[in-house]
Chains A and B, each alone.
Chain A
Amino acid sequence: MCTTCGCGIGQTRLNGKSIQLRRHSDKPLNYRPPGQDILHSHAHDPIPVDADHASETIHFGTGIAGTHAPGMSQARMVRIERDILAKNNHYAGENRRYLSEQGILALNLVSSPGSGKTTLLVKTIQMLRGKLPIAVIEGDQQTDHDAARIRATGVPAIQINTGKGCHLDAHMVGHAMQQLPLQDNSLLFIENVGNLVCPSGFDLGEAHKVVILSVTEGEDKPLKYPDMFHAAGLMLLNKCDLLPYLTFDVDLAIEYAHRIHPALPVIQISATQGTGMPAWMDWIEAECRRTAVAKHTLKSTDQTLG
């Protein structure tokens, strides 16, 4: 565990090796005494929960911000208005820019543990082998079992162990991208930590999150874990070969997913039996073409500007 702030990041490992993901300052923070109060206004505050009308803006002038009297104490107000995911989003933006410049399609696979992500990935790699270069970033709390399964297919893989962490973040993925042999115009799969909650909020710089729901889970998972289904660009309904033995209602599951995300495309597959996999291949190939076009457009724009 990190000794500076007590966080679990210190246990993050890349292929078993410890990496310093967060830079903490060793020196204590020394600052000059505060100057004058900073003026602030509340004109653009969004609507709080207790507002009774959607277009009405309520002002937060009632707290200490509005009542504080300068000169009474050394206290002052500092308005910073920063998104607390700004740091992650900055790293994600860097990853995304690099990926699009190199024409690399990055897909972030997310699901609960046990939905068949790694099996799906192995089968997908076998079907795409020879068509385009592939690399994989594997995220798990512990072990490099998944990366070993991927490497057995002949594709380079980096394992990120998040230690106590429950999700990959863009900084970890940026490190892993530097260590991977990433070829231009290739495909990068990022298999996130099996968790339907936390990875939804962390942009890694991927083109799409692909959420995998297996038919051995409940149909109402999209309603129970809405953030992930809202963030996803594709849903794969996996293990469909088991449907004859289960009471899983496919239409209901898709209806629930569409309540959360009306435009979410859904492909029904069985990674082990191969059904539906051609549709998934078609989707990947269409996205690869889109990435190639975007790279081309980016280059011509750069040349025009340069």
Chain B
Amino acid sequence: MHEMSLAENMLQLIEEAASEQKFTQVKTVWLEVGQLACVEKESLRFYFDVVTHDSIAQQARLEIIEIAGQGLCNQCHQAVLIASHYEACPHCGSYALQITQGDGMQIKELEVE
């Protein structure tokens, strides 16, 4: 459900960018979503369509770039790729991983007219 709020936030950022960068139509939105971010991509796509109806981003294509989850193992100090919060370090089996990447969501760029 919170994907609707996220989609609204996206539209706000796009509208702010439109006012700063002077454009009237958004054709494509490139969004980076971390694997560990608390967001369901399909749900976000659905709400993005709903929220952008009759807006500057109406019918904009949403391109989602999935960013790998990455952590640093506190025990063996190796950088590891992880797909979820409950994964153990593949090298030493420790669960004490510090997330270093892949828990955020960011609009990267827009194709606009």
Contacts and interface: CB of A to CB of B under 8 A. Distances in A.
Contacts of B66: 48-49
A260 B38 contact: no
A162 B22 CA distance: 34
The residue in A9, A76, A222 that gathers the most chain B C-beta atoms within 10 A of its C-beta is A76
Given A5-B11, A31-B19, A64-B111, A260 B105 contact: no
Interface stretch (A78-86, A126-134, A150-158, A295-303): A78-86
Interface string B1-17: 11011101111110101
Nearest to B5: A169
A54 B70 contact: yes
Given A6-B50, A65-B109, A54 B81 contact: yes
A123 interface: no
Contacts of B5: 7, 165, 167, 169, 202
Interface of B is mostly: mixed
Contact of A63 (B30, B70, B88, B95): B30
Nearest to B8: A7
A153 to B, nearest CB: 31
B19 A81 contact: no
A235 to B, nearest CB: 14
A256 B88 CA distance: 12
Interface of B: 1-2, 4-6, 8-13, 15, 17-19, 21-24, 27-28, 30-32, 35, 37-39, 50-51, 53, 55-56, 63, 65-68, 70, 74, 79-81, 84-86, 88, 95-96, 99, 101-102, 104-113
